[in-house]
Amino acid sequence: MKQAKTLDERELKVVLGICATRRYAARDRAIVLFSFCAGLRAKELAALRIGNVVGEVGNVREECVLIPRQTKGDKARRIFINTRLQRELSVYIKSLGDTLPSQPLFQTQKRTAFTANSMCHLFIDIYAEAGIEGASSHSGRRSLLTSLASKGVGVRVLQEIAGHSSISVTQRYIDVNDHQMRAAVEMV
């Protein structure tokens, strides 16, 4: 099976630009950035509840915990939410109006939770509109891990961020490109 395309920052900007033109712009931007900034799978994005990311005083948390049934491996996992994603989530959550911690964070037009499958299709639709071939709901995960690896983040840290049970799985997510190879040989 072919792996999902990794996107560079320029391509991500195109995708976010497309999201901004869509009917549910704030939601779609938040979903895409959650994938690119935290590396969540479609199933995990679909399973998120408002209480996972919003604290008691209404602020977006710096980290959240996914309970076993929210993850692929049925294993609890901590997710770190960077400043960029916190800002995006704040905008999105304000657009929701009244919220309860038990509500799905990302809702369909019928105000129900996405399924893992419908979340995958949302990504496919967004990437198709952006004209990016080969991208899927896993593109954010792969792009995040590849970007962090190219900045020298160790594979053990990447494994924890991705929630993988083995380093060999994590290594398959990391792409190598000409820019990285050029920079590597310049170190000599």
Give the list of residues 6+ apart from residue 163 with CB closer than 8 angstroms, or none.
Answer: 39, 71, 72, 73, 75, 77
Q: What is the mean pLDDT of the chain?
A: 92
Q: What is the rounded CA–CA span in Å between residue 167 and residue 176?
A: 17
Could you tell me which residue, 60 or 170, shows the higher pLDDT?
Answer: 60
pLDDT > 70? residue 116: yes
pLDDT in tens, 43-61: 999 999 999 999 988 899 9
pLDDT in tens, 120-154: 999 999 999 999 999 999 999 999 999 999 888 98
CA atoms within 13 A on the CB side of 4: 22
User: Could you tell me the pLDDT band of residue 1, with boundaries at 50, 70 and 90?
Assistant: low
What's the one-letter identity of residue 18?
I
Q: Are 26 and 95 in contact (CB under 8 A)?
A: yes
The H-or-E segment that residue 140 falls in is helix 139-150
Residue with tokens 């996405």, as numbered in its chain: 114
Closest residue by Cα to residue 53 from 26, 36, 34: 34
User: Could you tell me the pLDDT band of residue 25, with boundaries at 50, 70 and 90?
Assistant: very high
pLDDT the model gives residue 90: 95
